[in-house]
């Protein structure tokens, strides 16, 4: 049986991107376990995709441990959950920073650690981590968010090598600006004409492709943004200077302002 039609645990299922991912796997015959904090949205989605709702707050370590226990044996982990973590460093409280790190970085690592043993025993499994192009290129008002996404990228690429000898795949999906769902869409900011966007369905297709093809990374963004992120990794100082001249600082601060009440 194909992994995409196996038993799939999806975190962050109640967000717009999570819904698209759930529907994508359901269309391929997967048995879905959906988790998120908003029960009022989680249960209707579970009924729609004939899955199981398993509410959990990933900012609480005991909830992460409970999720691992109650989910049981899975074939695919899709670590999609995240909280808005944008904002100038000096605007953030330590409690906000701690929550961002718990949900966006620690929880995916803990879930991977918790499920890896069972996958290795069966020599069957795949893990997908939802990073971001912000995991390759940092900008103003995004220090903590980028820290979590850079960190998640490093973890996933390292874990891919650790688990490869056991027949377990690990992939990263790195969206850019997603126009119909997610944190950027929720902030309702206007981008310059030269900045392209993608859809939640394209992110879902990237997740499925990552599992089926065992891709290390799949970027979901126009070619210009993808090249810009790669350039920033090679020459961060120069890339930051060019990015500021193109208006990235305003985009970043507008995004942070739009997410302020959701930290």
Q: What is the side-by-side strand order in the sheet with 217-220?
A: 52-53, 31-34, 7-10, 76-79, 126-130, 169-175, 217-220
**92 alpha carbon, distance to own chain's centre:** 22
Closest CA to 38 of 24, 18, 9, 23: 18
Q: What is the DSSP letter of 58?
A: T
Within 10 A of 153 (CB to CB), how many other CB atoms are there? Answer: 19
The crossing angle, in degrees rounded to 10, of helices 16-27 and 39-48 is: 20
Note if 167 is an active site residue.
no
Q: Which of 145, 150, 177, 184 is catalytic?
A: 145
Tokens describing residue 84:
């808005």
**Which parts of the chain fold into alpha helices (H)?**
16-27, 39-48, 61-71, 94-101, 107-122, 143-163, 182-187, 200-213, 223-234, 236-245, 248-259
Q: Which residues are catalytic?
A: 145
């Amino acid at each position: 049986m194909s992994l995409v039609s196996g038993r799939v645990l999806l975190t962050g299922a109640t967000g717009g991107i999570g819904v698209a991912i759930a529907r994508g796997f359901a269309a391929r015959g997967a048995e879905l376990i959906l988790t998120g904090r908003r029960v009022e949205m989680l249960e209707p989605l579970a009924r729609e995709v004939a899955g199981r709702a398993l509410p959990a707050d990933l900012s609480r370590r005991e909830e992460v441990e409970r999720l691992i226990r109650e989910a049981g044996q899975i074939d695919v982990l899709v670590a999609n959950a995240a909280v808005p973590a944008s904002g100038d460093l000096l605007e953030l409280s330590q409690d906000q920073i701690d929550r961002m790190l718990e949900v966006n970085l620690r929880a995916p690592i803990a879930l991977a650690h918790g499920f890896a043993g069972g996958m290795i025993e069966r020599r069957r499994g795949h893990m997908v981590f939802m990073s971001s192009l912000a995991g390759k290129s940092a900008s103003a008002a995004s220090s903590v968010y980028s820290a979590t996404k850079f960190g998640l990228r490093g973890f996933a690429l390292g874990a891919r090598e650790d688990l490869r000898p056991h027949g377990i795949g690990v992939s990263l999906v790195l969206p850019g600006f997603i126009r119909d769902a997610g944190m950027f869409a929720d902030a309702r900011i206007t981008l310059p004409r030269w900045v392209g966007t993608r859809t939640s369905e394209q992110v879902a297709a990237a997740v499925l492709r990552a599992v089926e093809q065992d891709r290390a990374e799949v970027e979901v963004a126009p070619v210009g943004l993808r090249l810009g992120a790669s350039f920033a990794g090679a020459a961060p100082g120069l890339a930051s200077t060019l990015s500021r001249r193109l208006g990235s600082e305003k985009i970043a601060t507008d995004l942070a302002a739009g997410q302020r009440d959701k930290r």
